[in-house]
Amino acid sequence: MNVASEVPVMDLTVQDLVSFALSKFRAGDTISTRAMLDVIRQSDPACEDSDDHLVELIVMTAVGKTMGIVFDHRSPDERLPRLS
């Protein structure tokens, strides 16, 4: 009998991925949005959600767990003010 073949495969939702990534931290910890995006993308390379949507979920979940957030997911070029 192959027990592994009888275990149902669960499709993780994006919220599940975010919760899993944040589960390694405790209340009061400070998390990096870049690091969280990397963990989520590595956990599910097929995730099609935008970085902005994932950051929104990360923030909502982290704030609910009283974690601090460092918004470092933008590239240096995106952070520079644009001159017209």
29-51 pLDDT per residue, tens: 999 999 999 999 999 999 999 99
Distance separating alpha carbons of residues 12 and 45, to the nearest angstrom: 12
Distance separating alpha carbons of residues 33 and 72, to the nearest angstrom: 6
Distance separating alpha carbons of residues 29 and 21, to the nearest angstrom: 13
Domain ranges of the chain: 14-73
What pTM was computed for the model?
Answer: 0.74
Q: What is the pLDDT of residue 74?
A: 84
Q: How many CB atoms lie within 10 A of CB 59?
A: 17
Q: What is the pLDDT of residue 8?
A: 46
List the chain residues with pLDDT less than 50: 1, 3-5, 7-10
